[in-house]
Amino acid sequence: MTDTQLIREIIDGNVELYAELVDRYERKILAFIFHMLKSASMQSAAEDLCQDTFFKAYKNLHTFREVEASFSTWLYTIARNTVLSELRKQRAVQVSLDEGLVTPVARIDSLPEHAALRKEKVDLVREAINRLPENQRSALILREYEQLDYQEIADILGQTVSSVKSLLFRARTSVKLQLEPYIGSSAMQDFERMNEA
């Protein structure tokens, strides 16, 4: 069944089918929320915010309009707004990304010292991303970690495609500038891959 067919069935009273929609998107939404949070210490909050997202989506399923956006775009928008609302409540939280998530970097060499160096580089990239303004950070996360296209990102952020491209350019430039003092030019190859997208 497509998302649209499932949604019609759920609205018509087959509420048990909502579990299938949750199964389809829960992992991606949870990963997105982890990336959006400003502190790894909010890991338990990420799971709660994911549940809040799916609860809000269920409560408002009747307002979903397929002609305006895909279900996944609509869901990401709800997740983003849920996280931003929580972050406004927790203004004192420090900026950081969850360490357990996959990052867009090359594989880690098997030697322990290479693993330590790779972790240090990954941490530097995460810190640089976390220092970005919220819209730039969201755009970069949606593009690089969630692999969404420009139009989907534009829909989620309420921006035009050209604005999204501009946000991504500024985000990538900022991250690169932040990393240059710490990482030699040969080590910048991991991050350079982002600029090719």
Query: What average pLDDT score do residues 43-52 get?
Result: 86
Q: In CATH, what number does 112-196 get? A: 1.10.10.10
pLDDT tens-digit series, residues 154-197: 988 889 999 999 999 999 988 888 888 776 554 455 555 555 55
Kindly list the distances between the CA atom of residue 62 and the CA atoms of 7, 55, 58, 59, in Å, as whole numbers in the listed order. 8, 13, 8, 8
Sequence-ordered list of residues with C-beta below 8 angstroms from that of 113, at least 6 positions apart, any chain: none
CB 152 within 8 A of CB 70: yes
The domain ranges of the chain are 3-89, 112-196
pLDDT of 188: 54
Query: What average pLDDT score do residues 81-108 get?
Result: 58
pLDDT tens-digit series, residues 150-159: 998 998 888 9
- Per-residue pLDDT for 25 more than 90? yes
Q: In CATH, what number does 3-89 get? A: 1.10.1740.10
pLDDT of 82: 92
pTM: 0.63
Kindly list the distances between the CA atom of residue 34 and the CA atoms of 6, 53, 74, in Å, as whole numbers in the listed order. 27, 13, 18
Exposed e or buried b per residue across 84-112, where buried means at least 16 C-beta atoms within 10 angstroms of its C-beta: eebbeeeeeeeebbbeeeebeeeeeeeee
CB atoms inside a 10 Å sphere around CB 53: 26
Q: How confident is the model at residue 128 (pLDDT cuts 50, 70, 90)?
A: confident
More confident residue, 160 or 100: 160
**Token pair recorded at residue 95:** 């900026």
Q: How confident is the model at residue 10 (pLDDT cuts 50, 70, 90)?
A: very high
* DSSP, res 148: -
CB 118 within 8 A of CB 105: yes
Q: How confident is the model at residue 67 (pLDDT cuts 50, 70, 90)?
A: confident
Long-range contacts formed by 140-145: CB under 8 A, 24+ apart: 140/167, 140/168, 140/171, 140/172, 140/175, 140/194, 141/32, 141/35, 141/36, 142/32, 142/76, 143/168, 143/197, 144/104, 144/194, 144/197, 145/31, 145/32, 145/35, 145/101, 145/102, 145/103, 145/104
pLDDT of 187: 46
